[in-house]
Homo-oligomer: A and B are copies of this chain.
Amino acid sequence: MCSRCNYREILERAGLEATPGRMHVLEVVGSHPAPLSAAEIHRTVNRSRALDRVTVYRILDRLVEKKILQALSLGGRGRLFGLAPNEHHPAHPHFRCARCGGVQCLPPGGVRVDLAGVRRVFAGEIRRVEVQVEGLCANCLQRG
């Protein structure tokens, strides 16, 4: 997905060693067009290199903590992981098909959110807004 991201540099700028495990996880997530579950990431990484399930979870936690990845809860059983918004990747909404459970990234800029009304009454600090769209994907729509 991202030929513009230098993963080694991203890791080192975040103060993390660019270990083979982290590089591999980051490449798998970054080269996939939609967010992936920890299990999928583990499976994919292990096709080319042995990496423990727990290690994958720890790498993911670390990368989310450093805001290199973002974790999404989209209605499936667990979290999904994708590249966090950065200079190359603007934030974008996510779509989840209610029938097949498939997840897609929607175009950035395709949604405008106006939070003025919330800010007027909400006493906390707003850091991030995530828009999730649910419906039927093109495939499931065709097949009835």
Contacts and interface: CB of A to CB of B under 8 A. Distances in A.
Interface residues of A, number: 43
Interface centre among A71, A109, A111, A124 (most CB of B within 10 A): A124
Given A112-B112, A124-B136, 9 more contacts: A73-B75, A106-B122, A107-B121, A110-B122, A113-B131, A125-B135, A128-B134, A129-B131, A130-B132
Given A112-B113, A118-B111, A128 B133 contact: yes
A66 B131 CA distance: 24
Contacts of A138: 123-124
A21 interface: no
A97 interface: yes
A141 to B, nearest CB: 6
